[in-house]
């Protein structure tokens, strides 16, 4: 067997993983959910979620990946326990749930649960990895549609056709544009081709090389846009709106949003970080890498708001327009700025760059699975599954403003699964973001915390990061890090022990509570 390809350096890994994390979630979504949920107060809650749940779970994924040197399915399989009593138990419970659904609820979901339960019974924890690979298909199919719009909008901006005086003009244009199948599907296809070409080239010459080029470009574009925004007259209002803490807007709901977004933004819950971690060598300090990735991701998210809101306020536009912000408000804003087309093109280029380094990580999960477990060649896997995801994305694109044009899909989905989402696009988004990712995150932290065990995990983490993991936090805070009296065998508090506690108790409990809200067993 060929030796597994590895990142050429620690920096290469951090940039690739940060590239995966930094995406549409940071630049398109984070600013508007922050604007809607109490500004600075929301940022604070978000930071806590990253620190207490995001970072520990990311370390879990990277550790599991590096230890096993496998894709998510292979990783779970490699360290699964010999006894499968637990898996059998869960499998039986899911089958029972399926039977109940069959009798009292929907036969579609019931039948699905029966199948899933049987698979869990048979394959155990490996199924958690399989769900990750499936999430790759689901997420990339709708993610690529949005990423595709940015390609079209760069083109449109350069051609000078994004000249709107009002937001409603821009909104009407966006609707026409995004429902045009040639633009929608064409640009989605173009984006998938870019992803395929990078993944085709492999870990070093594809993912790492392009992340090293694209991430600095992203930072540069963002800084240029921030400077432009902040130097406009009346920009301060925007900063004030964006970051002034308003605790009256914070409730259980915003905490849930912050937690869900922390997962999505850090690319957690589906094994993307297991996969990227599997290309990390033993000498790397993965504790430190995790820290860097999380800091980069969070910093870019916060910065994105600083690029957007000052400009929005400088020209007196409404900020609270939700998801439409990027494609409906900003074009109108840019039109007010001298050389606006150029600024608009730069902004959409920024979005595209961010989306591309994330898109490739999603395709890589799928590719790695077929390469490792099914012995496909990388070239074949990247092209074939890239194409499959392109096909799944077509109905997402067609249904963006409603089901009308995909009734053939809508009718069976309603009959079998009683879907109630506004479109196929929303259905896929909801399926991944609210169900598969949180469930995946829960399973990963339970698995590492309790099944594989934090003890073995920490052994893996210590390769390359011994000093880091074992620093006594209390001693560190007191400035006594190397003081001999703190080398006592009694464990005070180290990063390692803190991580163990977070991963065994805090993350699973927090994610479970969030999940119960989603399922509807807990109500706001
Ligand atoms: N993190 C990316 C963003 O913020 C999206 C993404 C890429 C992702 N890979 C992922 C989300 C894996 C969840 C899981 O846009």
What percent of the chain shows pLDDT beyond 90?
77
361 and 281 in a common domain: yes
71 and 88 in a common domain: no
23 and 91 in a common domain: no
212 and 273 in a common domain: yes
- pLDDT value at residue 508: 95
Nearest to residue 356, comparing CAs of 130, 190, 520?
A: 190
Pick from 61, 199, 361, 389 the residue to mutate for probing ligand 1's pocket: most ligand atoms within 8 Å of its CB. Answer: 361
List, chain by chain if needed, residues with CB within 6 Å of any ligand 1 atom: 20-21, 23-26, 139, 264-265, 267, 269-270, 272, 358, 361-362, 437
Q: Which residues contact 339 (CB under 8 A, 6 or more apart)?
A: none
Nearest CA to ligand 1 atom 11: 267
Crossing angle for the helix pair 181-200 and 167-179, to the nearest 10 degrees: 70
Q: How far apart are CA 313 and CA 286, in angstroms?
A: 41
Give the number of the atom of ligand 1 that is nearest the alpha carbon of residue 266: 1
Task: Assess if residue 483 is contained within a domain.
Answer: yes
Pick from 30, 362, 429 the residue to mutate for probing ligand 1's pocket: most ligand atoms within 8 Å of its CB. Answer: 362
Task: Assess if residue 2 is contained within a domain.
Answer: no
Range of the domain at 458: 10-80+125-518
Domain count, the chain: 2
- pLDDT value at residue 325: 81
275 and 371 in a common domain: yes
- pLDDT value at residue 86: 85
- pLDDT value at residue 482: 67
Dist. CA 485 → ligand 1 center (Å): 44
Give the end of a domain, one of 69, 97, 120: 120
How confident is the model over 47-75, as a mean pLDDT? 97
Task: Assess if residue 1 is contained within a domain.
Answer: no
Pick from 139, 218, 260, 443 the residue to mutate for probing ligand 1's pocket: most ligand atoms within 8 Å of its CB. Answer: 139
254-279: pLDDT as tens digits: 999 999 999 999 999 999 999 999 99
425 and 359 in a common domain: yes
Number of Cβ atoms within 10 Å of the Cβ of 482:
10
Give the number of the atom of ligand 1 that is nearest the alpha carbon of residue 269: 14
330-385: pLDDT as tens digits: 999 999 999 999 999 999 999 999 999 999 999 999 999 999 999 999 999 999 99
Dist. CA 21 → ligand 1 center (Å): 6
Indicate if the pLDDT at residue 64 is higher than 60: yes
- pLDDT value at residue 487: 55
Average per-residue pLDDT for the chain: 92
Give the number of the atom of ligand 1 that is nearest the alpha carbon of residue 359: 7
Number of Cβ atoms within 10 Å of the Cβ of 217:
12
Task: Assess if residue 4 is contained within a domain.
Answer: no
374 and 333 in a common domain: yes
Q: How far apart are CA 126 and CA 138, in angstroms?
A: 19
Task: Assess if residue 524 is contained within a domain.
Answer: no
How confident is the model over 66-75, as a mean pLDDT? 97
Dist. CA 349 → ligand 1 center (Å): 18
5-55: pLDDT as tens digits: 999 999 999 999 999 999 999 999 999 899 888 888 999 999 999 999 999
- DSSP result, 262-327: HHHHTT-SSSHHHHHHTT--TTS-HHHHHHHHHHHHHHHHHHHHHHHHHHHHHTT--S--GGGIII
Nearest to residue 492, comparing CAs of 477, 508, 503?
A: 477
- Across 76-80, 306-310, 409-413, 465-469, least confident range: 465-469
Task: Assess if residue 326 is contained within a domain.
Answer: yes
CATH of the domain at 221: 1.10.4160
Give the number of the atom of ligand 1 that is nearest the alpha carbon of residue 361: 9
Indicate if the pLDDT at residue 489 is higher than 60: no
Give the end of a domain, one of 94, 120, 146: 120
Q: What is the pLDDT confidence band of residue 183, given thresholds at 50, 70 and 90?
A: very high
109 and 46 in a common domain: no
Task: Assess if residue 297 is contained within a domain.
Answer: yes
What percent of the chain shows pLDDT beyond 70?
96
- DSSP result, 235-266: HHHHHHHHHS--GGG-SHHHHHHHHHHHHHHT
Dist. CA 117 → ligand 1 center (Å): 27
Dist. CA 139 → ligand 1 center (Å): 8
445 and 352 in a common domain: yes
Give the number of the atom of ligand 1 that is nearest the alpha carbon of residue 355: 15
114 and 247 in a common domain: no
Task: Assess if residue 281 is contained within a domain.
Answer: yes
386 and 265 in a common domain: yes
Q: 299 near 63, Cβ under 8 Å?
A: no
312 and 413 in a common domain: yes
């Amino acid at each position: 067997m060929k030796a597994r390809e590895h990142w050429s350096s620690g920096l290469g890994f951090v940039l690739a993983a940060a590239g995966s994390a930094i995406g549409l979630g940071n630049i398109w979504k984070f600013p508007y959910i922050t604007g809607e949920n109490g500004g600075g107060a929301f940022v604070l809650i978000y930071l806590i979620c990253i620190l207490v749940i995001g970072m520990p779970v990311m370390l879990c994924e990277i550790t599991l990946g590096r230890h096993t040197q496998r894709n998510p399915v292979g990783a779970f399989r490699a360290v699964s326990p010999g006894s499968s009593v637990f898996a059998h138990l869960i499998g039986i419970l899911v089958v029972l749930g399926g039977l109940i659904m069959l009798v009292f609820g929907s036969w579609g979901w019931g039948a699905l649960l029966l199948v899933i339960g049987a698979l869990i019974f048979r394959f155990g924890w490996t199924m958690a990895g399989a769900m990750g690979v499936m999430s790759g298909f689901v997420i990339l199919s709708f993610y690529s549609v949005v990423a595709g719009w940015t390609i079209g909008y760069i083109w449109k901006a350069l051609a000078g056709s994004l000249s709107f005086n009002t937001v409603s003009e821009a909104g009407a244009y966006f609707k026409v544009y995004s429902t045009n199948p040639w633009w929608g599907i064409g640009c989605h296809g173009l984006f998938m081709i870019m992803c395929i070409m990078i993944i085709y080239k492999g870990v070093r010459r594809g993912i790492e090389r392009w992340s090293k080029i694209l991430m600095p470009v992203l930072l540069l574009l963002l800084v240029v846009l921030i400077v432009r925004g902040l130097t406009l007259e009346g920009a301060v209002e925007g900063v004030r709106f964006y970051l002034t803490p308003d605790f009256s807007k914070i409730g259980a709901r915003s905490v849930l949003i912050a937690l869900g977004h922390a997962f999505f933004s850090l690319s957690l819950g589906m094994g993307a970080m297991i996969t990227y971690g599997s290309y990390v060598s033993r000498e790397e300090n993965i504790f430190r890498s995790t820290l860097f990735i999380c800091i980069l991701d969070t910093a870019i998210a916060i910065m994105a708001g600083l690029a957007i809101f000052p400009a929005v306020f400088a020209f007196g536009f409404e900020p609270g327009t939700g998801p439409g912000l990027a494609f409906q408000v900003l074009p109108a804003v840019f039109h007010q700025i001298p050389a606006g087309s150029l600024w608009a093109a730069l902004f959409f280029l920024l979005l595209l760059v961010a989306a591309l380094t994330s898109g490739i990580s999603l395709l890589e999960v799928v590719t790695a699975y077929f390469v490792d477990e099914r012995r496909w060649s990388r070239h074949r896997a990247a092209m074939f599954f890239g194409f499959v995801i392109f096909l799944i994305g077509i109905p997402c694109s067609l249904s963006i403003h409603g089901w009308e044009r995909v009734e053939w899909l809508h009718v069976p989905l309603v009959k079998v699964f009683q879907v109630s989402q506004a479109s196929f696009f929303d259905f896929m988004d909801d399926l991944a973001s609210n169900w598969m990712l949180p469930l995946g995150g829960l399973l990963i932290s339970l698995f590492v915390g309790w099944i594989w065990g934090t003890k073995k995990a920490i052994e893996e983490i210590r390769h390359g990061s011994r000093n880091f993991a074992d620093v006594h936090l209390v001693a560190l805070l007191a400035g006594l890090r190397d003081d001999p009296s703190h080398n006592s065998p009694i464990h005070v508090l180290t990063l390692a022990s803190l991580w163990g506690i977070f991963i065994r108790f805090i993350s699973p409990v927090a994610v479970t509570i969030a999940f119960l809200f989603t399922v509807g067993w807990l109500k706001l």
